[in-house]
Structure 1
Amino acid sequence: MSEFGERLANLRESRGWSKTYVAKAIGLSSMQTYANYEYGRREPDFQTLNKIANLFNVSTDYLLNGNKEEHKTADLADKDTVFTYEGRQIPPEDLEYMKRLLRGGKQ
């Protein structure tokens, strides 16, 4: 198994997903195609690689090279992150309102 395949398998297993689920989620018609990525028998094309990265919420660099610091996730609590809408920064009070909505209305 390749390092790429091991990363795929670890990401999938950590979420409790089946190979069939992942294959369907990224638009593959066959689970075997995805399984071959994990087994190192095939490599996905760029478009499929991007779909896999988006599904697992990691960067393509992480999938290909294992660079963990390249994960795409960002916490809304990160004070260095600036959120904008239509080119303007979202005011802090609106951002707090959005956070409450994302939590399902909970404080």
Structure 2
Amino acid sequence: MPLEGWQILIFEKLSNGYTEEAANPIWQYHKYIPYSKPDKVHDQIKFYGTPKDLDDFCLKTGLRGQFYDQQLDQMAGFYGCCSAAEPIHVQLNLAAYSIEVV
């Protein structure tokens, strides 16, 4: 990817309080889907703080692309979240290296 493709979004605060995202031309060509839609969805990226660079942007927004692909087929992240959200969940506590039921 050319260096200009590494440019993260420009966030513009609108008079109605919502944030509009402006993606660079490369992201637009690849059909970037904004996380915020003025008058509908409010600041989903900036809720976690303004991204400093591309790595920080990916850290704050990486889950959406892991749930489904461009054909809207569900991917492993979708099933992982379903499993993690089940009423009784058995997991490994990595800090204490013990099994926990939550």
Normalised-by-shorter TM-score class: 0.3 to 0.5
* TM-score for both structures, normalised by structure 1: 0.37
* TM-score for both structures, normalised by structure 2: 0.38
Higher relative contact order (CA 8 A, sep 6+): 1
Give the structure with the larger strand fraction: 2
Give the structure with the larger helix fraction: 1
